[in-house]
Amino acid sequence: MLLGFEHVGITVSDLDRSLQFYCDLIGMKLILRKTMPRGSGELAFVDMGNGQLELVCPSPAVVTPAAALEPTRAGIRHLTLAFTDIDATYAKLIAAGAPSIEPPRDAHNREILARVAFLSDPDGNVIELAQRQSQR
């Protein structure tokens, strides 16, 4: 029996920098940080409120940023995080240096979401900021 969403893992190049982005800027909470077996890197789990994000930093560190996924290629396109006010959240993240992909706009799927915005985390992973209709 399915219980629900548990976690998603992403590879990062600098665990401290990623924890600053996801915890200090976005508001997630660090649950666990540890060295991986055989010293092959570090990992951290952060609480997203309704699931977890696993940040994996191999050793030696990754130096290649995440590649953008072409529209016709299968794969994970983005990580969507829900906020009560994406305009304020987007402005805070851009002011902190997060690269913008698309500023806040009305969502195409208005049946579900009111507004969305897109930016990158420190490693180029695409983050969608979402604001539900009920939060407007």
Residues carrying an active site annotation: 128
Rg (CA), the chain: 16
**Residue owning tokens 């985390």:** 121
Token look-up 């309704």 returns 50
User: SS3 for 16?
Assistant: helix
Q: How many helices (H) and strands (E) does the chain have?
A: 2, 8
Q: How many CB atoms lie within 10 A of CB 37?
A: 7
